[in-house]
Structure 1
Amino acid sequence: MRPFRFPEDLLALQRAWLRTYAELAETPAAAGTTVLRRRLITLSGHMHTHGYWSGPAGWRAGGVELRRAARSTPATAEREAST
């Protein structure tokens, strides 16, 4: 398997998606989850239409690796990406 090199903006999108998903999982449905669900849809759209996927790797080849890379990123990079 060849290594993937993801652009930082794509990793930041994936990190934001993971944070939003975790927040949605912890929020009771009665508390109103519409905003979080809409944010997930928006982030998903941005990730899937990112220019990186137009290259030869494609989403199926790199989607799992993107999630792994986003999860293994140090907390400092995550804080920088959210600013």
Structure 2
Amino acid sequence: MSATHLASTEVCPGQAFRCGNAYGLQFHPEVDESIIAGWCRRARVDDAVVREFREVREAYQAASRKILQNFLGML
């Protein structure tokens, strides 16, 4: 059985896929600013990622909601 490609970005061509009734994601639709800040603290990296997320937060969260709503609609 082969996987069906579902989503990509310029940086990562394999963001989402399906194989039969199993789905795989290479991103975190549940992420918010506090989660990213925690990841940065634990990795001891600059919080520039948090600042970048603030710039795209609304679009990211809207896309994440749509993905999760569509997934739940299949159940």
Choose between structure 1 and 2 for higher RCO, CA contacts under 8 A separated by at least 6 residues.
1
TM-score clears 0.5: no
Q: TM-score range by the shorter chain?
A: 0.3 to 0.5
The TM-score with structure 2 as length reference comes to 0.32
- Could you say which structure has the higher strand fraction? 2
- Could you say which structure has the higher helix fraction? 1
The TM-score with structure 1 as length reference comes to 0.30
